Structure 1
Amino acid sequence: MKTARLSIITLDVPVILFLCISNYNLNRKNHSGSLFIPCSEIMKKSTLSLIRNASLSLLTLFLVQNVNAQVGAPAGGPILETAPKGNSKISGIVLDSAAAKGVEFASIALFSVEDNKAIDGTTADETGRFSITKVAPGNYKLLVSFIGFKDKSIDNIKIEKGRDIDLGSVQLASTVQNLQEVTITGEKSLIEEKVDRLVFNAEKDITSKGGDAADLLRKVPMLSVDLDGNVSLRGSSNIRVLINNKPSTIIASNVADALKQIPADMIKTVEVITSPSAKYDAEGSGGIINIVTKKNNLQGLTLNIDSGVGNRGTNLGLNGSYRKGKMGFTLGGFGRAFYNKATSSLDQTTFSEGSSFLTKQTSDAKDRGLFGQYSLGWDYDLGKNQALSAGLRYGTRNFIQKQNLTINQFENDVLDLTSQRKVNRKDLSGTVDFNIDYIRTFKPQQEWSISTLYSRTGLTNNFNTDLLTESNAVASTLKNENKNRNSEFTIQTDYQTPIGKNQLIEFGAKGIFRTVDSDFRYLTSTESGDFILSPANPSGVLNYSQNVAAGYVSYTLTTKNKYTFKAGTRYEFTGITADLGEEGAVSIPNYGNLVPSINVSKSISGSTTLKAAYNRRIQRPGIQQLNPNVNLSNPQSISTGNPALSPELTDNFEIAMSTNIKKTYLNISAFARQTNNSITQVRNAVDTLQGAIVTTFDNIGKQRAYGMNVFANVYLTPKWTVNGSLDILHSYLEGQTTSLEGTSVTASNSGFNYGGRLMSQVTLRQGWGVQAFGFYRGKEIQLQGTRTGFYMYSLGFKKDLPNKKGSIGFAAENFMTKGVKFTSDLTSPQFNQVSQTQLYNRNFKITFNYAIGKMSFDAPKKRTKSVNNTDVIGGGEQK
């Protein structure tokens, strides 16, 4: 097991010892051992918050046994004496004498003065209030205790028949014991295996400080992230990405850009849900990625500063939190600026009636980006079993590219035209999310919740192209203005309840009301410098409305022989209306889908788990696939969307095994999937523009994939870990493309893809740490060709500041080369295309983190659930 070092500040050492001793006494009396917890486990959980969580149910019994010994109870005597019952009540409130607030879950033991034995006991509620009922007449004393406080004894309590006693406030004084560093083994594993997901604990990454979520996701098993930040799971980019179980319209429009808004060092875990249960939306044929950010249950005021400076990027983050009593606020802001450059080349040949047209392009570009997100959160505990929360988030992304483009065109190998162009692209957006969530807990695992979310994004994708003369003067300018709006309102309700001790049933309903609008036009300059609508280039609108109604039921069964079954089904009905303005409506039929799922896991030993799963998923097109705006920034390589796209349907199968072999964690999984009506990129020659190719999206037909993933994490020493994974994928795609004569022909492509990653981390003395990371993604199979793979590597150091108030670090990425080059090689009856891109991503950065403020520990609250739209495809490369 790996070893962690923690500084325990507010820990009462005698209480830890008494937990061990009392637990031993309990075990000596209870031969079944059902209440026995080894002392090593108690010591292992000896931080204040862990003891509160893990030991509350046994704390009263432990306390009473301990105080029996303190007041002279006979050794080996019973924990509680049988006492006559009455109708009186003893009540009061336990307060922290320093903070004048309630001490949650304090333990109260009632003793009979006559024989000095404990006869009853209870624990305080979340406000510190307590009551002991059915007390018979007599003389008593009360002992109040809680970890981190001195015991308080209240003597001379006389109960008369029918009389209640209110003790008022009982003040406990804190006991602060400053300890040296304590070595605790058995910390949370890097990877956790659950019945329907794999959990990657991401809190210890060094090199990602100053980076974003895309940097971190490259290290997660089964995930691949390309240089643009586009994410794929087991070779499929049709996935859903959630942030704290919440969707956002910016995620729906472009996953890659959304990930750039999330700082890597604010991520706690990444959940890879390869086989989503019926509770999740049916969207996302490849699966779901849920990014969970760091949270706390502390009282007080804090401010955390994160910053980093590098030759390719700079970031600054400020995050604060304030909590007092039942109410809490969080305020956060994060901004990241990056600056990069790249060169590219394109050799493209098109064929037409015995002639060939060759286009040779070269370009150099400077990319500038500013990404940020700002959030305000609020939560309030309405009562012991109810909670209300709300959140407001604003996200922004501003991407600007300046490109110098040279185009040489040949007809039958004879130079026909040379042009120089300056292209300026602006990709801007602003997103507002607002949610209100409520949850009511009736008893453990029985709860009802209602969640709402309103999200709106404004997108601007503009460019202007200056056509230059031989003297580099501007001969003419072409502008494309493309404004998009994406808004949605979601309401859902969920209910779950246990059936007996080993069953759980869940059901719920959900409605999503989504609108997507796009307004685009082309402008061309006149001799006077004014701009008019371009008569040769398209203008238009898209009005797209999508409403989804869904209901689900899910059932979980855990058997005595350690099988867990989770089965369910979900029905979704999708209604769509779309029109292109004056051009009329687009015919897209409504559709309903029944999507079953089943997950089975079996624990065959204390360290080995087997899993098998099947589920059906649907994938709706996203705004980037639907938008009919024709992008002519490069006249020889044109792109446009397809508003008539239909959804795709995928069947997924998976088997997996996870085990611990001495100091090694091993996870092996194999999978297969078949997709019908698959949405993918298709390229065809343009009849009206010599030598040009247009890229769009289409429902091509079939896609089949199968493969396996192997992940291992090895503890070489308590302070040195190595982990890595190997991915193998075989893909087969079949669809329709266009022949040289312009007719539809069947095309297919297949092949293997290999990838992997390796990471090693060493914890050194005096707060020093070092981490190395390497990543490789192999050749990607596309319908009309292949795209070569790429690699990345990094090395980072970190030094904790005194008292662990912060840290300073240094990291280098791709430091032995200038950057990464990758090639796309595509072919069809109409064209051959080879493109190369060189990205200069060598990066050196210094990171700094510092925490201001002080928080006191508090018991965890029941948090509200949030809307989870696992819906629509994101932007970027598809498959």
Structure 2
Amino acid sequence: MVMKLIRIFLPALFTLFLINFAGAQTRGGKISGLVLDNTKKPLDGATVILLVAKDSTEVSTQLVNPDGSFTFQNLKDNTYILKVTYIGYKDYRSSNVVISQQKPVALPPFILSSTGKTLNEVAVTAQKSYVQQKIDRTVVNVGALISNTGANALEVLEKSPGVQVDADGNITFKGKSGVLVMIDDKPTYLSAADLATYLRSLPASSLDQIELMDNPPAKYDAAGNAGVINIKTKKNSIRGFHAVVSADYAQGFYGRTNESINMNYRVDKVNLFANIAYNGNQTFRRLEIDRNYFDANGDQTSSLKDISYFRPVNNNTNIKAGMDFYASPKTTWGVVFTGTIAPDHDNSPVYSLLYGKNGELDSTINTQNTSKDKFNSKGINLNYTHKYDSTGRQLNFDLDYIRDVSNSNQLFVNNTFLPDGTLTNSQTLSDNLPSTINIYSAKADYAHPLKGKAKLEAGVKSSYVNTDNAANYYNVVDGVSTIDYNNTNRFLYKENINAAYVNFNKDFGRFSLQTGLRVENTNGNGHQLGNAEKADSSFANHYTNLFPTAYFSYNLDTAKHNVLVLSYGRRVGRPNYSSLNPFTFFVDEFTYFSGNPFLKPQFTDNYKLAYSFKSLFTVAVAYDYTTDVQGETIHNDGNVFISTTGNIGQLKTLDFSINTNLQPAKWWTVNLYAEFYNNTYQGQFYTGYLNQSKNTFDFNGSNQFTISKTWSAEISGFYDSGGAYGQFITLPKGMLNAAIQKKILNNKGSIKLNMRDILHTFSPSGTITNIENATATFHNFVDTQVATLAFTYSFGKSTNNPPKRETGGADSEQGRAH
């Protein structure tokens, strides 16, 4: 194992040092500074405008970084003025700033006062906009919506522009599945089911922003054909001790609680931080599936009605802790530990009613399905940052190790009855499904400014994944268990991905260019171990691909208020590790899940044209073309439905979207997002040639109201007209939310009341098409009508200091684990 780690990490570190020594100094004037509010906290999203002092000609405009910093580089010798604007704050205008002999100037912090308030007041009436647009991503500020109070990360995602979450927690983005979900620029390394469980256990109070990237730059892994969703957690950046505690109680079908504490302590060169969250959650879902069966002539032979009840009980604890050591003003070392403990149990009975061809009841099958699951994850990240000079030349590297261990024990008891209640058959089946995954990753990134407002970035990454999944099934007769060799198996999978990228951007007056190229080499080996009745089987995949990206931006006016952006990118969707495992998972006597070791990766080309006005209004049109589309497929073996992930064919998506931030009055802020897209699936299928197309309309909006200095309210919601997703045609669904907030304890605390899905209209339903000699419909009753009462309190010192870096090198593997 040691030699394997050396082979993985040594090439990355060697390349890192080659890049380091290849750097050169950049000439040019520079102005840098910080934008803070009157409590010395960063004003992320504030606009800084650089003007020539003589005639107020605008030179450049930019949004400040999350830590409040901004930098204008490669400036000519001149006298400048800086103007800072932010909604709800008074405009700030600096005195003259002189650039002489192209030397850098570091300005003292700009302190902005809120409208109608003095600098020494603690209360802040303004807040970030819910949605902010950048050249390569959309940023959602989680805390800007009161209705996010008491919610979890998955519920926050479903309210984000272009994001949809189905009843099982599967995430789609702009009508496409296969999105790569990351936490603080690090992958989650989880299967779709485990990712949904983890996000449900992550309280919204611990989240800061969500970055939505349908066409990520070359720096990011090429995985995720639908793009990247990066969830950024809160990070304190203050000297001394500071903490934020929150607790809430929610009542839906069952009660649930969330508690969290986010702590930070810095003294001298050491910064310690920790985020601990606990989630006690019990939910409810009823799923109804109606199936009709036909003979070769199209005459109905029978029908089946399945009614399933899901009542999972989760008690999840998430821990994130670490330390930053500021070895010098230019060098920072860091370590981050993460851990998740997520036990749960479920009692999910299924009632199946089997009817004859004339609609008469033939038999009833009652399935008692009980399960106990455990999921434990632990990880460590070592990171290093070095800033060579004030021009922005910087080197980062990360080493990651993550270990996920899960185990599931299930018991199925199937009893079949005649219409008169006579028991005709009883069957008992049990299983044990242990899984272990180990992930190793090394990554290095280097940034180097060049002359003429240009910048070059480059990096390398290598990862190694080792998974071990077992499926042990037993037939139980009179209390005696015997191995079911037909379904029992053990699946081993190993994968190594090596990648390198280069990215270049440059400004040419009104025109800006950013282009990049990423190369990824994938090597995967799968081995299904045999048993007493089945032989071994194995497969290997080795391929290398190029992933170009390009952004072209043009300012239609000198003030840069009207901007056009044209972009292109290529993505890959590698199979989830669990999807490659050919084991069978039972839901009931008529429904199975099965893996597919022959699953191929899918590739997507993304094209997009967008127009924005002052980052307040954005309209975009996009076209995506995907080959070897991966998606859930349903085929039948008699009256048994088998669900597996397959390559459906090709997908063409044409998308038109519009997003706007409005402020009709000082006390009223509105954010609206609307999207219209068409999905067209074409390709060979179980039942012949699949040709499925449907138009979809999505709407997402929020209204925020400032009632007084301490009272605020919100009304938000979304609507989805339904669409086509492979075999599945979904029906319309929506949600209406409302919330009210009261600030207390000298504005250091708050009490919030939130009502989610007031009208209880979120019921994912639809039709399953292209099933041989059968039709099927499904309807979900989901526990989403929930009232939440929450309390948040912040205490400790509030002196600003440079922020810590909590990034890692594991990018795409986590979203595919198990």
Q: Report the TM-score when normalising by structure 1.
A: 0.77
Quickly say closer, same or farther: Cα 1:632–1:870, change in 2 above 3 A.
closer
Query: Which letter maps to 1:445?
Result: G
Could you tell me how far apart the structure 1 residues matched to 2:330 and 2:571 are?
35
Instruction: Name 1:485's counterpart in structure 2.
Output: 436
Q: Report the Cα distance in structure 2 between the residues aligned to 1:335 and 1:792, rounded to whole angstroms.
A: 26
Which residue of 404, 408, 420 maps to 2:353?
408
**Aligned match for 1:769, one of 705, 712, 720:** 712
The one-letter code sitting in structure 2 at the alignment partner of 1:623 is Y
The CA deviation string for residues 446-484 of structure 1, in whole angstroms up to 9 with x for no partner, is 111221111111122442112347689995421122112
Pick one of 562, 568, 573 that aligns with 1:619. 573
Query: Corresponding residue for 1:287?
Result: 227
Question: In the alignment, which residue of structure 1 is the partner of 2:482?
Answer: 532
Alignment match of 2:309 (pick from 328, 349, 364): 364
Output aligned runs, 1:26-175, within 5 Å: 31=54
The whole-number CA distance in structure 1 between the counterparts of 2:366 and 2:651 is: 40
Aligned to 1:863: 805
Is 1:721 aligned to residue 675 of structure 2? no
Counterpart contact for 2:735–2:760, Cα < 8 Å: no
Distance 1:54 1:301, change over 3 A: farther
Equivalents in 2 of 1:51, 1:486: separation in Å? 39
Q: What are the superposed Cα offsets for residues 627-647 of structure 1, whole Å, 9 maximum, x if unpaired?
A: 322112212121111122111
Q: Partners of 1:820 and 1:792 in 2: how far apart? A: 9
Is 1:657 matched up with 2:611? yes
Q: What does 1:772-811 correspond to in 2, within 5 Å?
A: 772-811=715-754
1:436 paired with 2:391, answer no
2:342 aligns with: 397
Shift of 1:864: 6.7
Corresponding residue number in structure 2 for 1:166: none
Once residues 296 and 357 of structure 1 are traced to their aligned partners in structure 2, the CA distance between those partners, rounded to angstroms, is 62
Return the alpha-carbon distance in structure 1 between the equivalents of residues 59 and 660 of structure 2. Answer: 33
Give runs of aligned pairs for residues 130-279 of structure 1, distance below 5 A.
179-180=120-121, 189-250=129-190, 254-279=194-219
Cross-structure match for 1:465:
412
Distance 1:279 1:122, change over 3 A: closer
Q: Which residue of 2 aligns with 1:547?
A: 496
Counterpart position of 1:453: 400
Displacement of 1:392 in angstroms is: 0.6
Show the counterpart of 1:730.
678
Cα pair distance change 1:624/1:32, threshold 3 Å = same
Structure with max Cα Rg: 1
Distance 1:596 1:327 in 2: 40
How far apart, CA to CA, are the structure 1 residues paired with 2:382 and 2:706?
42
Q: 1:640 aligns with which of 589, 594, 600?
A: 594
- Distance in 1 of aligned mates of 2:756 and 2:168: 16
Q: CA RMSD in A?
A: 3.8
Matched, 1:823 2:769: no
Give the Å deviation of 1:364.
Answer: 3.2
Residue 296 (1) aligns with residue 242 (2): no
C-alpha distance in 1 between matches for 2:523 and 2:338: 29
Following superposition, the deviation at residue 256 of structure 1 comes to 2.2
**Secondary structure in structure 2 of the residue aligned to 1:671:** strand
- Alpha-carbon distance in structure 2 between the residues aligned to 1:225 and 1:624: 20
- Find the counterpart in structure 1 of residue 83 from structure 2: none
Residue 624 of structure 1, CA deviation: 3.4
1:602 aligns with 2:554: yes
Deviations 1:198-224 (A, max 9, x none): 222233221111111122223322222
Matched, 1:342 2:291: no
Q: Which residue of 2 aligns with 1:331?
A: 274
Q: Which amino acid aligns with 1:593?
A: N
For 1:146 and 1:295, how far apart are their aligned partners in 2?
A: 20
Cα distance, 1:533–1:197 mapped onto 2, change above 3 Å: same
Structure-2 residue corresponding to 1:590 = 542
CA distance in 1 between partners of 2:441 and 2:60 (Å) = 45
Question: CA 1:523–1:80 in 2, change beyond 3 Å: closer, same or farther?
Answer: closer
Query: How far is the alpha carbon of 1:10 from its aligned partner?
Result: 7.6
Alpha carbons of 1:229 and 1:480: their partners in 2 closer, same or farther (altered >3 Å)? same
CA shift at 1:578, angstroms? 0.8
- Alpha-carbon separation, structure 2, partners of 1:672 and 1:51: 35
Correspondence for 1:515 among 462, 466, 471:
466
Contact 1:648 1:679 in 2 (8 A): yes
Conserved 8 A contact 1:253-1:875: no
AA partner of residue 616 (structure 1): R
Q: Deviations over 1:553-580 (max 9, x none)?
A: 11111112x2221111111111111111
The amino acid of 2:38's aligned partner reads I
Deviation sequence 1:261-307 (CA, Å, 0-9, x none): 32212222211112112221111111111111222220111232211
* CA–CA distance in structure 1, aligned partners of residues 288 and 806 of structure 2: 52
- 448-457 vs 195-204, which deviates more? 195-204
Q: Which amino acid is the alignment partner of residue 739 of structure 2?
A: G
Q: Secondary structure at the match of 2:797?
A: strand
Q: Which amino acid aligns with 1:369?
A: N
CA distance in 2, matches of 1:672, 1:522: 46
The answer for the alignment partner of 2:38 in structure 1 is 8
| Contact 1:242/1:868 (<8 A) preserved | no
Change (3 A) 1:782 1:269: closer
Which residue pairs with 2:367 in the alignment? 421
Structure 1 pair 817–288 and aligned structure 2 pair: CA distance change class (3 A): closer
1:678 paired with 2:653, answer: no
Q: Within 1, Cα distance between the matches of 2:548 and 2:633?
A: 31
Deviation at 1:258, TM superposition (A): 2.9
Equivalent residues of 1:400, 1:425 under 8 A apart: yes
8 Å CA contact 1:260–1:371 kept in 2: the answer is: no
User: 2:767 & 2:322 partners in 1: Cα distance?
Assistant: 44
Change (3 A) 1:221 1:521: same
The residue type equivalent to 2:398 in the other structure is S
Instruction: After superposition, give the CA deviation of every residue in 1:648-683 in whole Å (9 maximum; x if it has no partner).
Output: 1111111111114xxx92111111111111111221
Q: Which runs of 5+ in 1 are unaligned?
A: 1-5, 12-25, 63-75, 82-120, 125-144, 149-176, 740-744
1:257 is paired with a residue whose SS is helix
Read off the aligned partner of 1:325 and give its amino acid letter: D
Is this contact kept in 2: 1:213–1:259, CA < 8 A? yes
Identity across the alignment (%): 20
Could you state the TM-score of these two structures normalised by the residue count of structure 2?
Answer: 0.82
Partner of 2:85: none
In 2: Cα distance, 1:650 partner to 1:857 partner: 46
Cα distance change, pair 147–409 in 1 and its aligned pair in 2 (3 A): closer
Shift of residue 189, structure 1, vs aligned partner: 4.3
Aligned twin of 2:48: none
Offset from partner CA, 1:169-204 (integer Å, 9 cap, x none): xxxxxxxx983468888x754433322212222332
Distance in 1 between residues matched to 2:59 and 2:135, nearest whole Å:
27
CA distance in 1, matches of 2:183, 2:301: 49
Asked if 1 retains the 8 angstrom alpha-carbon contact of 2:394 and 2:447, the reply is yes
CA distance in 2: counterparts of 1:184 and 1:693, whole angstroms: 56
